[in-house]
């Protein structure tokens, strides 16, 4: 094999890099979803002090560059807390928090989209605050939020490409390695871009089907 030529093993490397990107995306999306909903629940219950703290954290994460957050966690956290943080751990911590901040905003907007008259009616019928949240607010808020959440998921998939700068061997990192070896940037980065595009289209398609099903179940059918 001549130096700089492509091999079939390069496809294996791209597949491995893609699998790492997808796993990081899935893990951080799941953690971010749980955290974001938990923060929105705190806001719904208006828990003193905790509500202000959650809002401050979410605003800070939402309005600061993800790359800076990565550097702070990977380089700053070990110094501040005297602990070892691997590149993957730093990526998961950072992207989970960043995802949670945006999900929090979406969830709060979705909850506030539910009419106050419905919440008051639920209380009149004797539903507790938890029952109102679970039976009245959550179904409607979910249908409202699914569209923005799909858009967020596509964006966060692309954001995972930033983790390559701290040493995570994801799809972008593999692309950089192949580019340095083959000196064919157009071919390499086109392949990487196509893989990201296909994953994003898959997320959008699956999310669109889920949104359609939720819309059907939430639409008013009449008496």
Q: What is the pLDDT of residue 184?
A: 86
Token pair in block for residue 193: 């871009």
Largest CA distance in the chain: 78
**pLDDT for 59-95, tens place per residue?**
999 999 999 999 999 999 888 888 889 999 999 999 9
What is the spatial distance between Cα 68 and Cα 143, in angstroms, rounded to a whole number? Answer: 33
More confident residue, 183 or 97: 97
Handedness of CA 96, 100, 101, 103 (dihedral sign): positive
Q: What are phi and psi for residue 126, nearest 5 degrees?
A: 90, 10
Token pair in block for residue 191: 């392949």
Q: What are phi and psi for residue 222, nearest 5 degrees?
A: 85, 175
More confident residue, 74 or 132: 74
Q: What is the pLDDT of residue 221?
A: 46
Q: Which CATH superfamily is domain 23-169 in?
A: MetI-like (1.10.3720.10)
Q: Mean pLDDT across the chain, nearest whole number?
A: 85
Q: What is the CA radius of gyration of the chain?
A: 21
What is the spatial distance between Cα 46 and Cα 50, in angstroms, rounded to a whole number? Answer: 8
**Could you state, in order of their start, the residue ranges of all structural domains in the chain?**
23-169
**pLDDT for 135-146, tens place per residue?**
677 777 777 788
Query: Distance between the two ends of the chain, CA-based, in angstroms?
Result: 73
Token pair in block for residue 214: 């939720």
Q: What is the pLDDT of residue 112?
A: 77
């Amino acid at each position: 094999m001549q130096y700089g030529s492509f091999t079939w093993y390069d496809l294996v490397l791209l597949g491995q890099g893609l699998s790492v990107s997808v796993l990081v995306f899935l893990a951080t999306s799941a953690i971010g979803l749980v955290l974001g909903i938990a923060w929105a629940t705190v806001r719904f219950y208006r828990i003193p002090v905790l509500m202000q703290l959650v809002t401050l954290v979410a605003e800070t994460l939402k309005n600061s560059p993800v790359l800076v957050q990565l550097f702070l966690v990977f380089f700053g956290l070990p110094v501040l807390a005297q602990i070892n943080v691997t590149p993957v751990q730093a990526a998961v911590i950072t992207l989970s928090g960043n995802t949670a901040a945006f999900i929090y905003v979406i969830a709060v907007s979705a909850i506030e989209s539910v009419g106050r008259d419905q919440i008051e009616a639920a209380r009149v019928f004797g539903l507790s605050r938890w029952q109102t949240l679970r039976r009245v607010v959550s179904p409607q808020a979910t249908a409202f939020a699914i569209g923005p959440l799909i858009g967020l998921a596509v964006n966060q998939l692309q954001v995972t490409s930033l983790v390559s700068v701290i040493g995570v061997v994801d799809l972008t990192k593999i692309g950089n390695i192949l580019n340095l070896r083959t000196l064919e940037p157009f071919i390499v980065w086109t392949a990487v871009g196509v893989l990201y595009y296909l994953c994003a289209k898959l997320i959008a398609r699956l999310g669109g089907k889920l949104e359609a099903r939720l819309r059907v179940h939430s639409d008013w059918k009449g008496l």
